């Protein structure tokens, strides 16, 4: 509440100093981080031999409108694959969230991965939690200035490497790096790199938990996908508080037996779970929107319980139903529905990619003008044929038509088309037809493309419509 009595929509930021912790979940997070960084930073430099095209394994060639992903080459007309991939990603997110809550946020989100690295750099330069707090409270001096400057410099270097690496996915990596540092790179390469450098530095270095709390939409709608069986990071209130609440370890409350006799719970109020939290919340207060399910508080609490010789699991991954003593259901109707749709979407995408046609054609009728009446009385319609050769070999193609008896097909001086490997071409085709007075309106026919000397590639067809004036529209 503000002084005027109104509720504030934004809480002024309180600096958070996450403490380091060791444990199984922290180890998993390091492993995921190492894998993610290895893939992201090394993938543009991976070479891939192709008969035609660049030798970069992953390359998004905007100029040529081709996208290379190892052995797969996607053309501009294959962008529906991207839509399919995004649908699969969304379904996977919903499926995982229904089972294990916000594990994506805690382990795989870009914000989490880069913030973890920035925190590691901060600890390496400035020390752990207590040292960083002491450094911030100390007056400005040489030591403080050097440590702060070194931290921000390393942050900027990581941010620059992040931005430049992203840019390398859109051009030949070795060439683009040389061009970038010699001042001969295209302007979009500089703009993209510098923009991502700035956003990475601000988001991971300065904003951190503010992104998760105020900017990320997922934190807001995640509760819709939660139910009583969803596994979340939760504090065992009954065990931790007991009848008399939590209490620190004292001479008279040193063993579990002594604490049980006095009704005191297992939580010794050490604050370790709060200190390791990257968003600064106290998990003992229940599930909160800021919790990203990173489980570092579990590692912290298990460490303390282990040092005391008490059972671990005071903080754990559990569900509301399991916390009440019931059996948690993983395969519930909503989860099964998400899983079924997810499997279907993956199957459809895999089938579409594996059954990619080696040769594709699309037909667009020229509508200005829609028709031309020639001096001999015939009607002429014009069409634009778009042909794409998706093989790694050149093709010789014959263009034909069927469905209009007596019609003449004119594609200029070309007896046949030579289409290079992994290339596309646009061909103007004119169809002239003496329809007579008995036929008016629209007539359907087909364009046929017949590959020559490539028996493994069959004929492809595309429907078209021939317009004869005099019909009502």
Give the model's pLDDT for residue 87: 92
Q: Does residue 342 lie in a domain region?
A: no
* Residues 283 and 209 grouped into a single domain: no
Q: What are phi and psi of 293, to 5 degrees?
A: 60, 40
Give the model's pLDDT for residue 471: 47
Q: Which two tokens stand for residue 310?
A: 């008490």
Residue 401 CA to its chain's centroid (Å)? 44
Strand partners, 60: 67
* Residues 205 and 250 grouped into a single domain: no
Euclidean distance between the first and the last CA atom of the chain, given in angstroms as a whole number: 66
% residues pLDDT > 70 (the chain): 94
Query: CA angle, 243 as apex, 242 and 247 as ends, to 5°?
Result: 60
* Residues 246 and 209 grouped into a single domain: no
Q: Hey, which bits of 275-414 come out as E strands? A: 315-318, 359-365, 372-373, 379-389, 395-402, 408-410
* Residues 97 and 170 grouped into a single domain: yes
Q: What are phi and psi of 432, to 5 degrees?
A: -115, 135
Domain C-terminal end among 173, 193, 225: 225
Q: Burial code of 101-119, b = ≥16 C-beta within 10 A, e = fewer?
A: bbbbbbbebebbbbbbbbb
What mean pLDDT do residues 128-139 have?
A: 94
Host domain of residue 415:
359-468
Domain C-terminal end among 274, 302, 323: 323
Please tell me the total count of domains within the chain. 3
- Residue 349 CA to residue 352 CA, distance in Å, equals 5
What mean pLDDT, rounded, does the chain reach?
88
Give the model's pLDDT for residue 243: 87
Tens digits of residue pLDDT in 228-266: 888 889 999 999 988 888 888 888 888 888 888 888 999
Q: Does residue 250 lie in a domain region?
A: yes
pLDDT score of 456 more than 80: no
pLDDT score of 353 more than 90: no
Q: Does residue 99 lie in a domain region?
A: yes
On whether the CB atoms of residues 385 and 366 are closer than 8 A, the answer is: no
Q: What are phi and psi of 378, to 5 degrees?
A: -75, 155
Q: Does residue 351 lie in a domain region?
A: no
* Residues 87 and 30 grouped into a single domain: yes
pLDDT score of 413 more than 80: no
* Residues 243 and 295 grouped into a single domain: yes
Q: Give kind and range of the element (H or E) at residue 465.
A: strand 460-468
Residue 77: how many other CB atoms lie within 10 Å: 13
* Residues 96 and 206 grouped into a single domain: yes
- Residue 13 CA to residue 219 CA, distance in Å, equals 18
What mean pLDDT do residues 272-300 have?
A: 92
pLDDT score of 396 more than 90: no
* Residues 54 and 176 grouped into a single domain: yes
* Residues 218 and 245 grouped into a single domain: no
Which residues contact residue 391 at a Cβ distance below 8 angstroms, ignoring those fewer than 6 apart?
358, 359, 421, 422, 457
pLDDT score of 290 more than 80: yes
- Residue 394 CA to residue 422 CA, distance in Å, equals 8
Query: 């044929």: which residue's tokens?
Result: 385
Tens digits of residue pLDDT in 16-56: 999 999 999 999 999 999 999 999 999 999 999 887 778 89
* Residues 139 and 184 grouped into a single domain: yes
Q: Does residue 283 lie in a domain region?
A: yes
Q: Does residue 345 lie in a domain region?
A: no
pLDDT score of 441 more than 50: yes
* Residues 313 and 286 grouped into a single domain: yes
Give the model's pLDDT for residue 4: 56
pTM of the predicted model as reported, rounded to 2 decimal places: 0.82
DSSP at 424:
E
* Residues 33 and 145 grouped into a single domain: yes
């Amino acid at each position: 509440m503000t002084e005027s009595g109104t509720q504030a929509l934004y809480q002024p930021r309180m600096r958070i100093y996450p403490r380091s912790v060791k444990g199984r979940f922290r180890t998993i997070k390091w492993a995921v981080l190492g894998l993610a960084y290895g893939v992201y930073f090394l993938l543009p430099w991976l070479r891939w031999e192709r008969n035609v095209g660049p030798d970069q394994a992953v390359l998004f060639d905007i100029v040529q409108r081709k996208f290379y992903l190892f052995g797969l080459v996607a053309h501009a007309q294959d962008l529906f694959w991207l839509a399919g991939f995004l649908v699969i990603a969304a379904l996977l997110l919903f499926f995982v969230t229904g089972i294990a809550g916000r594990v994506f946020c805690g382990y795989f989100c870009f914000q989490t991965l880069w913030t973890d690295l920035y925190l590691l750099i901060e600890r390496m330069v400035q020390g752990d939690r207590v040292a960083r707090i002491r450094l911030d409270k100390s007056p400005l001096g040489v030591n403080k200035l050097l440590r702060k400057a070194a931290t921000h410099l390393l942050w900027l270097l990581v941010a620059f490497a992040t931005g430049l690496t992203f840019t390398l996915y859109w051009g030949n990596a070795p060439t683009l790096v040389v061009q970038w540092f010699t001042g001969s790179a295209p302007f979009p390469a500089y703009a993209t790199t510098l923009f991502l450098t700035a956003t990475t530095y601000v988001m991971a270095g300065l904003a951190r938990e503010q992104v998760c709390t105020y900017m990320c939409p997922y934190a807001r709608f995640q509760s819709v996908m939660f139910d009583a069986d969803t596994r979340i990071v939760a504090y065992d209130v009954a065990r931790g508080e007991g009848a008399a609440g939590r209490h620190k370890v004292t001479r008279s409350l040193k063993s579990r037996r002594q604490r049980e006799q006095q009704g005191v719970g297992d939580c010794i109020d050490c604050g370790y779970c709060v200190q390791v939290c990257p968003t600064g919340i106290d998990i003992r207060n229940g599930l909160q929107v800021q919790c990203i399910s990173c489980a570092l508080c579990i590692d912290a609490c298990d460490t303390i319980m282990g040092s005391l010789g008490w059972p671990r699991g005071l903080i754990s991954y559990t569900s509301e139903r399991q916390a009440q003593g019931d059996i948690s259901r993983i395969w519930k109707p909503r989860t099964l529905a998400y899983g079924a749709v997810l499997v279907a979407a993956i199957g459809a995408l895999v089938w579409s990619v594996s059954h990619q046609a080696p040769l594709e054609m699309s037909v667009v009728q020229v509508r200005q003008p829609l028709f031309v009446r020639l001096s001999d009385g015939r009607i002429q319609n014009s069409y634009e044929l778009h042909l794409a050769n998706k093989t790694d070999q050149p093709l010789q193609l014959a263009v034909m038509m069927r469905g209009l008896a007596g019609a003449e097909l004119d594609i200029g001086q070309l007896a046949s088309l030579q289409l290079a490997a992994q290339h596309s071409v646009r061909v103007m085709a004119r169809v002239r037809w003496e329809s007579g007075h008995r036929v008016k309106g629209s007539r359907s026919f087909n364009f046929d493309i017949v590959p020559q000397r490539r028996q493994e590639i069959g004929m492809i067809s595309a429907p078209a419509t021939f317009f004869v004036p005099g019909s009502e529209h």
